Amino acid sequence: MTYTKRLPKPVVEQWDWQLQGNCRGQESAVFFHPDNERGPARRTRQAKAKQVCQTCPVIVQCRQHALRTREPFGVWGGLDEDERRAIFSKRTRQQHQPAA
């Protein structure tokens, strides 16, 4: 069992944006892939999730959260796992480039 007493307590101001998300009340299966999902089924599900994100009033906060926490799964802020991974890789490459 995980010992959670050392973890910081939730701060409403940091999480209240989630209450305004378009995804609130939606099936999580739209945003998170089931085991062994591949190809067209995955692309279709991700497109549906991203469509929900397009008009979301908190898309920026959601995306920032996913990038800040390096969220490994699901569609967050209109970005899927591969898109976030590409952003992380690009940042890493830029950090390791020699200064001009």
List strand residue ranges (DSSP E) for 1-100, in order.
none
Residues at the annotated binding site for [4Fe-4S] cluster? 23, 53, 56, 62
* Residues whose CB is less than 8 angstroms from the CB of residue 74 and which lie 6 or more positions away in sequence, other chains included: 31, 32, 33, 49, 80, 81
Residues at the annotated binding site? 23, 53, 56, 62
Q: Say if residues 84 and 66 touch (Cβ distance below 8 Å).
A: yes
* Residues whose CB is less than 8 angstroms from the CB of residue 87 and which lie 6 or more positions away in sequence, other chains included: 67, 79
* CA count, 13 A, side-chain hemisphere, 14: 7
